[in-house]
Chains A and B, each alone.
Chain A
Amino acid sequence: MKSIILKTGSDYLLPLLIMFSIFILLRGHYLPGGGFVGGLIASIAFVLHFFANSLENTKNIIRIHPGLLIPVGLVFALFSAIIPLFLDQAVMTAQWMHEPLPVIGMVGTALLFDIGVYLVVLGVTLTIIFTISETM
């Protein structure tokens, strides 16, 4: 699968799709979107790049092993769950900042949780796809 058009296109699509996935992640709390879908879109971005170029090229872009994203994501989610414990509230009680941040909007532990989901989904999908294509 070596097509110049796809190869050139994927170079521009990769950053665009990743930005789009982050956009989807951030708007999740108010409009359709969220960490799960965002993570899937981000992985599609990398998979597209990998199809157009080669696995080595894509791996060089990511630099780290995608599997490393999984524990990081789980820790994010876990943190969002135990933060309220230290504020003397029940586990997973959402905490919110009082003022919305510019661009991003209201930020709370739910976003932290969603980022965790995003990272886990991205890590899992890429690990599975990369592993399969490497060993086949």
Chain B
Amino acid sequence: MLIAVLSGFILAFIMAFTGRWFKGKLSLLLSSVPVLLFLYFLQYSSTVAQGETLLFSYTWVPSMDIDFVFYLDGLSLLFSLLITGIGSLVFIYTAAYMKNHEYLDRFFAYLGMFMASMLGVVLSDNVVTLFIFWELTSISSFFLIGFKNESAESRKSALQALVITGLGGLFLLGAAALLGQITQSYSIQEMLQSGISIESSPLYGIVLLLIFVAAFTKSAQFPFHFWLPGAMTAPTPVSTYLHSATMVKAGIYLLARMSPLLGGQPAWSLTLMIFGGITMLYAAFHAIYRTDLKAILAYSTVSALGILVFLIGMGTEKSLLAASLFILVHALYKASLFLVAGTIDHEAGTRNLDQLGGLRKVLMPLAIAGLLAAISNAGIPPTIGFVGKDLIYEATLGTDSTLWLFTLVALITNILLLAAGFLAGIKPFTGPMPDALKDTHAAPVLMWLPPLLLAVLGLALGLYPAMIEGFTRAVHSSLLGSTSTAHLALWHGFNLVLLLSLVTLALGVTLYMVIRPSAERLAKVERFEKFSPKFILNGLGAAGTFFARAITSLLQNGYLRYYVFTIISFLTLLMAYKIISGVNLYIDYSRLSILSAKEIIIFSIMLASILFAIFTNSRLAAVASMGIMGYSICLLFVFFSAPDLAMTQFAIDTLTVILFVLVLYHLPKYLVLSETGIRLRDAALSITFGLFMTITIIEVLNEPVDKITSAYYAENAYKLAKGKNIVNVILVDFRGIDTMIEITVLAISAVGVFGLLKSKVNENPLKE
């Protein structure tokens, strides 16, 4: 299981070295990874459909209660199958869509990373690992959205998506920490079973807020929805995979997973229903005004996500069932529509609805896929979309109070979405073909087969809903937190729900006939952008940049001497504050050893080298005498039996002097002395700092020393880590992670030095 989850990362890692082999025809071979994963997860479907759940655990950091625990129930299996299933089709599609692209290998590596992170999100039972994978999806999607990195717009959208979803990630971490604090466990299943009522905790409100922000940012809910349409600058396979079927559903997944744990309270359901309701209406209205195929799909996706949030918020048995099914239904038709749009773009060279029409003549199989997906989206029988839409109406009708309002909101949204789906799936293929499209080629089989498969699956599941009944029941049970007895059927008889479906259909088709998206109408809608959350957030971003620039030019003016002066002055003030608040200057002479001759000699050398460094006229001589100072300290370490420290300090001092010499060698030979006033000021500061430092050290000596830690290391170095050199054992074993981070920081600094010196940038950007 661990290997299954991490295989995407392994794939990405291998691609880093063997990528050039996979740029040509072999790229299709990479699809075997998601296909095999899909089969792997499929084998669990019958077990899970019978209501069983599986738990796989692997130790990771047991000391902090963070382990890889993968929990497989209906919900996580549904998502895993979507991720790997649609992932397989997207991999196959990409091989044709981006054929012979220069960086195709890189693209597959990103896709693999993303797939693995997404699997991690939906399978993790531990909220901390859930958070880690959640952040990894944000990071890998940043690379995918910004894949066309030569385009400024693409970079901007990628950054916007990263900022918004990354922000949400931080909120998720907060929620994870608080949940862990309330329930004393990081495992979601243990939280559920422990029976600790989170609602009664004073932190409940904060946890809710954190979870909501995390889910709303990821799933593009109002007011964070704008990154999703922006992210449409990504290549189409990315839009299909991330922005319709998987990543944007991570927020939905989080809400669904937390629903049995946190749901049931008015604060939970009201917030979700209000935000979901606003999002679904707002985005559906926006969808039908767009002329770009992908923009239509993006807004209708936001709207569909709003419906899911709304349903989860409602929290009744029926609404959760509707949500369970709608996740699948939406993924099937929306991924299909996205792929159709991508193929049209690829073959006809445009995605603008104004210029598209009559493509059925050349892209027949694709037209069928578009049509099937559009009717599944519209909820026309006998597709699975019809079953899904029926359940939504049943759910809204089933609520006791203000039932007409919910039903009305759902009705309007569905009408708008139906029109949007027809615009995207049917309109490009109908009507007369404009002259500009006459030389459109037929699409290769790999570019129409994946969307057709998805669309046909939508039809097949509609005809035989019994096929997924057990499975949907398992998903429903995960959402309910108890066993479900739901029943799926295509035909429910003549009732109010059917009437609503007919009304939706009639009005939606009428709307589709009437509406003619055009550039002028789009411009009208976009005038309202000034009030949109996107505009406000961009303003905040600009203000932040301005503030950062002001602070930077104040503190970092480019003169090293001022930096040192600022740092030392600040430290001196800090210590002065501490000293004023009271010190205990007491030296216990009995505890000090008698000065030996060698120590006196070393101190004299030190003193001499300091004085020489201060008064010499040559820079090189000053640096060399500082080196002598360093060596003297090494000698002290040797006498006080710290050979490791001495060795390291010795080497470091040597290298520091060499570095200085390398740089100073090229400066003018004679030191221009500073003015007397400045020298006196520096001297005063140095003496004060030194004095305060001495006082602080005497203070430290008076503190009782806690020997528990060092005793532990001394005792266990050989026992636990098989080493006799405690310093080394601490570095490579007890505190190995610290060392790992330190060498990473070292590596980053080397890259920094290399980049700064090698790039020939002479202009100071701050002075522009």
Beyond A85-B58, A113-B736, A131-B753, list 14 extra A-B contacts (CB 8 Å): A28-B725, A29-B729, A30-B723, A30-B724, A34-B644, A40-B652, A40-B655, A73-B743, A94-B733, A120-B743, A124-B749, A129-B655, A129-B662, A132-B659
Q: Across the interface, which residues of B come within 8 angstroms of A73, CB to CB?
A: 743, 747
Decide if A117 touches B750 in the complex (CB within 8 Å).
no
Decide if A47 touches B743 in the complex (CB within 8 Å).
no
In the assembled complex, A91 has its CB within 8 A of some CB on chain B: yes
> Least Cβ distance of A27 to chain B in Å?
8
Bound state CA distance, A81 and B738, in angstroms? 12
In the assembled complex, B580 has its CB within 8 A of some CB on chain A: no
Contacting residue for B655 out of A24, A43, A114, A117, CB 8 A: A43
In the assembled complex, B758 has its CB within 8 A of some CB on chain A: yes
Q: Across the interface, which residues of B come within 8 angstroms of A61, CB to CB?
A: none
Known contacts A47-B655, A90-B59; A128/B750 CB under 8 A: yes
Nearest neighbor of B754 in chain A, beta-carbon distance:
A131
Known contacts A90-B59, A91-B60; A81/B750 CB under 8 A: no
Decide if A36 touches B655 in the complex (CB within 8 Å).
no
In the assembled complex, A23 has its CB within 8 A of some CB on chain B: no
Decide if B727 touches A34 in the complex (CB within 8 Å).
yes
Decide if B723 touches A29 in the complex (CB within 8 Å).
yes
In the assembled complex, B731 has its CB within 8 A of some CB on chain A: yes
In the assembled complex, B647 has its CB within 8 A of some CB on chain A: yes
6 shortest interchain CB distances as A-B pairs: A40-B651, A32-B643, A124-B750, A29-B723, A30-B724, A120-B743
Interface pairs (29), CB distance under 8 Å: A24-B647, A28-B725, A28-B728, A28-B732, A29-B732, A30-B725, A31-B725, A33-B725, A34-B728, A35-B731, A36-B648, A37-B647, A37-B648, A51-B658, A73-B743, A74-B744, A77-B739, A81-B737, A88-B59, A89-B59, A90-B63, A117-B739, A120-B746, A121-B743, A123-B747, A123-B750, A125-B655, A128-B749, A129-B655
In the assembled complex, A16 has its CB within 8 A of some CB on chain B: no
Bound state CA distance, A31 and B725, in angstroms? 5
Decide if B648 touches A90 in the complex (CB within 8 Å).
no
Q: Across the interface, which residues of B come within 8 angstroms of A134, CB to CB?
A: 757
Q: Across the interface, which residues of B come within 8 angstroms of A131, CB to CB?
A: 753-754, 757-758
In the assembled complex, B274 has its CB within 8 A of some CB on chain A: no
Decide if B743 touches A96 in the complex (CB within 8 Å).
no
How many residues of B are in contact with the other chain, CB < 8 A? 47
The number of chain A residues touching the other chain, given as a range, is 35 or more
Decide if B743 touches A117 in the complex (CB within 8 Å).
yes
Decide if A132 touches B663 in the complex (CB within 8 Å).
yes
In the assembled complex, A15 has its CB within 8 A of some CB on chain B: no
Q: Across the interface, which residues of B come within 8 angstroms of A92, CB to CB?
A: 733, 736-737
In the assembled complex, A13 has its CB within 8 A of some CB on chain B: no
Bound state CA distance, A71 and B748, in angstroms? 11
In the assembled complex, A60 has its CB within 8 A of some CB on chain B: no
In the assembled complex, A3 has its CB within 8 A of some CB on chain B: no
Interface string of B705-741 (1 = CB under 8 A from A): 0000000000000000111110111011100110110
Bound state CA distance, A24 and B647, in angstroms? 10
Nearest neighbor of A130 in chain B, beta-carbon distance:
B754
Nearest neighbor of A133 in chain B, beta-carbon distance:
B662
In the assembled complex, B271 has its CB within 8 A of some CB on chain A: no
In the assembled complex, B202 has its CB within 8 A of some CB on chain A: no
Decide if A33 touches B655 in the complex (CB within 8 Å).
no
Decide if B736 touches A35 in the complex (CB within 8 Å).
no
In the assembled complex, A14 has its CB within 8 A of some CB on chain B: no
Bound state CA distance, A131 and B651, in angstroms? 20
Nearest neighbor of A117 in chain B, beta-carbon distance:
B743
In the assembled complex, B665 has its CB within 8 A of some CB on chain A: yes
Bound state CA distance, A73 and B2, in angstroms? 26
Q: Across the interface, which residues of A come within 8 angstroms of B767, CB to CB?
A: none
Bound state CA distance, A71 and B731, in angstroms? 20
Decide if A136 touches B666 in the complex (CB within 8 Å).
yes
Interface string of A109-125 (1 = CB under 8 A from B): 01001101100110111
Q: Across the interface, which residues of B come within 8 angstroms of A96, CB to CB?
A: 722
Decide if B732 touches A35 in the complex (CB within 8 Å).
yes
Decide if A32 touches B754 in the complex (CB within 8 Å).
no
Q: Across the interface, which residues of B come within 8 angstroms of A33, CB to CB?
A: 644, 647, 725, 728
Decide if B725 touches A124 in the complex (CB within 8 Å).
no
In the assembled complex, B585 has its CB within 8 A of some CB on chain A: no
Q: Across the interface, which residues of B come within 8 angstroms of A89, CB to CB?
A: 59
Interface string of B369-388 (1 = CB under 8 A from A): 00000000000000000000
> Least Cβ distance of A7 to chain B in Å?
17
List B662-696 residues whose CB lies under 8 Å from chain A. 662-663, 665-666
In the assembled complex, A52 has its CB within 8 A of some CB on chain B: no
In the assembled complex, B62 has its CB within 8 A of some CB on chain A: yes
Bound state CA distance, A73 and B659, in angstroms? 23
Contacting residue for B721 out of A34, A41, A94, A133, CB 8 A: A94
Nearest neighbor of A24 in chain B, beta-carbon distance:
B647
> Least Cβ distance of A86 to chain B in Å?
8
Decide if B753 touches A132 in the complex (CB within 8 Å).
yes
In the assembled complex, B654 has its CB within 8 A of some CB on chain A: yes
In the assembled complex, B499 has its CB within 8 A of some CB on chain A: no
Known contacts A70-B750, A120-B746, A127-B753; A37/B644 CB under 8 A: yes
In the assembled complex, B61 has its CB within 8 A of some CB on chain A: yes
Q: Across the interface, which residues of B come within 8 angstroms of A51, CB to CB?
A: 658
Q: Across the interface, which residues of A come within 8 angstroms of B654, CB to CB?
A: 44
In the assembled complex, A19 has its CB within 8 A of some CB on chain B: no
Interface string of B22-63 (1 = CB under 8 A from A): 000000000000000000000000000000000000111111
Q: Across the interface, which residues of A come within 8 angstroms of B722, CB to CB?
A: 29, 94, 96, 106, 108, 110
Decide if A129 touches B659 in the complex (CB within 8 Å).
yes
List B1-18 residues whose CB lies under 8 Å from chain A. 2
Bound state CA distance, A41 and B650, in angstroms? 10
> Least Cβ distance of B314 to chain A in Å?
42
Q: Across the interface, which residues of A come within 8 angstroms of B2, CB to CB?
A: 85
Bound state CA distance, A74 and B747, in angstroms? 9
Q: Across the interface, which residues of A come within 8 angstroms of B644, CB to CB?
A: 32-34, 37
> Least Cβ distance of A55 to chain B in Å?
11
Q: Across the interface, which residues of A come within 8 angstroms of B750, CB to CB?
A: 67, 70, 123-124, 127-128
Q: Across the interface, which residues of A come within 8 angstroms of B739, CB to CB?
A: 77, 113, 117
Q: Across the interface, which residues of B come within 8 angstroms of A88, CB to CB?
A: 58-59
Decide if A74 touches B725 in the complex (CB within 8 Å).
no
Contacting residue for A110 out of B60, B647, B733, B746, CB 8 A: B733
Decide if B725 touches A132 in the complex (CB within 8 Å).
no
Nearest neighbor of B642 in chain A, beta-carbon distance:
A32
> Least Cβ distance of A84 to chain B in Å?
9
Interface string of A63-74 (1 = CB under 8 A from B): 000010011011
Contacting residue for A44 out of B61, B655, B754, CB 8 A: B655
Q: Across the interface, which residues of B come within 8 angstroms of A117, CB to CB?
A: 731-732, 739, 743
Bound state CA distance, A127 and B750, in angstroms? 6
Decide if A85 touches B60 in the complex (CB within 8 Å).
yes
Bound state CA distance, A90 and B59, in angstroms? 5
Decide if B655 touches A90 in the complex (CB within 8 Å).
no
> Least Cβ distance of A61 to chain B in Å?
18
Decide if B728 touches A116 in the complex (CB within 8 Å).
no
Decide if B743 touches A129 in the complex (CB within 8 Å).
no
Known contacts A28-B728, A85-B58, A89-B59; A128/B723 CB under 8 A: no
Nearest neighbor of A96 in chain B, beta-carbon distance:
B722
Decide if A120 touches B61 in the complex (CB within 8 Å).
no
Decide if B651 touches A77 in the complex (CB within 8 Å).
no
Contacting residue for B725 out of A34, A36, A133, CB 8 A: A34
Known contacts A30-B725, A36-B731, A128-B750; A81/B655 CB under 8 A: no
Q: Across the interface, which residues of A come within 8 angstroms of B747, CB to CB?
A: 70-71, 73-74, 120, 123-124
Q: Across the interface, which residues of A come within 8 angstroms of B733, CB to CB?
A: 92, 94, 110
> Least Cβ distance of B142 to chain A in Å?
21
Q: Across the interface, which residues of A come within 8 angstroms of B749, CB to CB?
A: 124, 128
Nearest neighbor of A127 in chain B, beta-carbon distance:
B750
Q: Across the interface, which residues of B come within 8 angstroms of A106, CB to CB?
A: 722
Q: Across the interface, which residues of B come within 8 angstroms of A43, CB to CB?
A: 655
List B627-659 residues whose CB lies under 8 Å from chain A. 643-644, 647-648, 651-652, 654-655, 658-659
